[in-house]
């Protein structure tokens, strides 16, 4: 009874937070409600017995990604009114895409059937072996059966990070920068000049 109560509580707050994320005009408030949604999602994972996923959701997404998003939104001087000025032009395209997605979801759910063993497995994330925790079981699956996909995901994230850095890197023409290749290729004659100074002439 208590588990069911907490499930509906976490699920209700999660849905409300997700709706507020996409409906609020202030991006800072949207990020804060997204953090609240992640916390409630972590609570649902805890109720299902997946404590590793719950802690990963809190530590990785809330502790790093969402806080970084919050700092970026608060520090960047972005004119969101200007960004939303031309949004009305894309409303027909957005409605068309929404109708297509709803049609696809209708066909998916109309052909969806509940597996007979799903009710038994829904609250059993830990394998039947004695002494094997949820975290250990998840590690075995990731680093044995899906290790190549795991490494591929890391490479994709690395490429995305490098691309984001290159896109956001701005070069100012009025700032002097070092050129290590030119410094290494510099010859002695280019850096040293012999001046024949006459007596009493000075520099």
Residue with tokens 């830990």: 126
Q: Per-residue pLDDT for 102 more than 70?
A: yes
Q: Per-residue pLDDT for 78 more than 70?
A: no
pTM for this predicted structure: 0.54
Spatial CB neighbours of 84, under 8 Å, sequence gap ≥ 6: none
- pLDDT value at position 96? 92
Nearest 5°: CA angle at 105, between 99 and 111?
A: 140
CA-closest candidate to residue 31, choices 76, 84, 74, 83: 74
- Do residues 17 and 37 make contact, with C-beta atoms less than 8 angstroms apart? yes
Residue 33: Cβ within 10 Å count: 19
Q: Per-residue pLDDT for 175 more than 90?
A: no
Q: What are the structure tokens assigned to 85, written together?
A: 């000025």
CA-closest candidate to residue 161, choices 32, 74, 30, 65: 65
DSSP state of 66: I
Domain locations along the chain: 1-79, 132-169
Residue 153: Cβ within 10 Å count: 11
Average pLDDT score over residue span 18-38: 85
Q: How confident is the model at residue 76 (pLDDT cuts 50, 70, 90)?
A: low
Most confident of 8-22, 51-65, 98-112: 8-22
Task: Classify domain 1-79 by CATH architecture.
Answer: Up-down Bundle (1.20)
- Do residues 151 and 68 make contact, with C-beta atoms less than 8 angstroms apart? no
Residue with tokens 């409303």: 91
């Amino acid at each position: 009874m208590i588990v069911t109560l907490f499930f509906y509580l976490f699920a209700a707050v999660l849905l409300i937070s997700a709706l507020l994320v996409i409906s609020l005009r202030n991006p800072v408030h949207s990020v804060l409600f997204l953090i609240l949604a992640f916390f409630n999602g972590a609570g649902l994972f805890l109720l299902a017995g997946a404590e590793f996923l719950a802690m990963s959701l809190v530590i990785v997404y809330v502790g790093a990604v969402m806080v970084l998003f919050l700092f970026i939104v608060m520090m960047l001087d972005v004119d969101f009114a200007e960004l939303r000025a031309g949004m009305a032009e894309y409303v027909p395209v957005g409605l068309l895409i929404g109708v297509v997605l709803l049609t696809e979801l209708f066909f998916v759910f109309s052909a969806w059937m509940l597996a007979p063993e799903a009710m038994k497995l829904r609250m059993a994330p830990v394998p039947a072996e004695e002494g094997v925790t949820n975290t250990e079981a998840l590690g075995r699956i990731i680093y044995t059966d899906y290790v190549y996909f795991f490494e591929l995901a890391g490479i994709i994230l690395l490429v995305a990070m490098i691309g984001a850095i290159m896109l956001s890197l701005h070069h100012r023409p009025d700032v002097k920068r070092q050129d290590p290749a030119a410094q290494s290729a510099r010859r002695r004659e280019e850096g040293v000049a012999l001046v024949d100074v006459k007596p009493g002439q000075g520099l």
